[in-house]
Amino acid sequence: MSTNNSSQAHPRGALVYYVRDVVKTRESEGVAFRLKVPSLQIAMGEKIALVGESGCGKSTLLDILAFILKPSSVGAFRFRPERDGDPLDMDAYWKAGRLNQLGDLRKRYLGYVMQTGGLLPYLTVRENMDLCRNVLGLAQDGTIEHLAEQLGIAKHLNKLPEALSTGERQRVAIGRALAHRPSIVIADEPTASLDPYAAQKIMAHFMELVEELNITVILASHAWRHIKELGLRRLHHRTFRSEDRNLTETIVSG
């Protein structure tokens, strides 16, 4: 699988994602949404932002890139999480129903900061942050404590999420996504529920950490003004609505 476009030289360096002609259609109660991705290439270490209004398909795209959502049709979808490895044909994984392997790739290489935070309410902050490390069998080596220190939540490690403010919980969600040292972090509106000042502060912190760890970042947000100073490459998208508003279509490329 080495003689394909995703392994060729690219101006932005080795590609983590090489996506061509991917379509996802979702439908509920007679209202349809279609996401089209004619071409998307994300290089290792790049920081990407997908910015757009509610319902334009940001989470849909992120879920596809995280192998959570199966695309409806695929021209090509290659994923190359390691610089020295061959690109993996993700379409073949989906077509063969290899859901366990998709899950393994997700656990090993991806960190996901979910739109809703996604912390487990019955686990402490420490246990939440340790979840992915635990699944991967990684040792207790002080990573959690160090990250918590960097994110300003060290004194909350033994508390349950319900005892934290929204901003503190967002920091825990970010810490959880970084703790197993993934090569890619997907962050879906990680600061949506915060005031602009707190959002700016947490995002700056997040960007510092991912720069330090050389992590590829794909971030979705409503508000470009919050993140334009952070140096992310913005993906272009266009959204169309049919006159009867029963179909919305978003085309993303970059």
Shortest approach of ligand ATP to residue 120 CB, angstroms? 21
> Judged by CB under 6 A, which of 41, 59, 170, 183 binds ligand ATP?
59
Q: Does 143 bind ligand ATP (CB under 6 A)?
A: no
Nearer to Mg ion, 18 or 67 (CB): 67
> Judged by CB under 5 A, which of 17, 45, 57, 59 binds Mg ion?
59
Residues 6+ apart with CB under 8 A from 117: 161, 169, 170, 172, 173
Size of the site for Mg ion (CB under 5 A): 2
Q: Does 54 bind ligand ATP (CB under 6 A)?
A: yes
DSSP code string of 99-167? HHHHHHHHHHHEEEEBTTB---TTS-HHHHHHHHHHHHT----SHHHHHHHHHT-GGGTTS-GGGS-HH
Nearer to ligand ATP, 80 or 226 (CB): 226
Q: Which of residues 77-106 bind ligand ATP (CB under 6 A)?
A: none
Q: Are 133 and 179 in contact (CB under 8 A)?
A: yes
Does the CA dihedral 99-100-103-108 come out positive or negative? negative
Q: Are 250 and 57 in contact (CB under 8 A)?
A: yes
Q: Does 190 bind ligand ATP (CB under 6 A)?
A: no
> Which residues would be at the binding site for Mg ion (CB under 5 A)?
58-59
> Which residues would be at the binding site for ligand ATP (CB under 6 A)?
26, 28, 33, 52, 54-60, 115, 222, 248
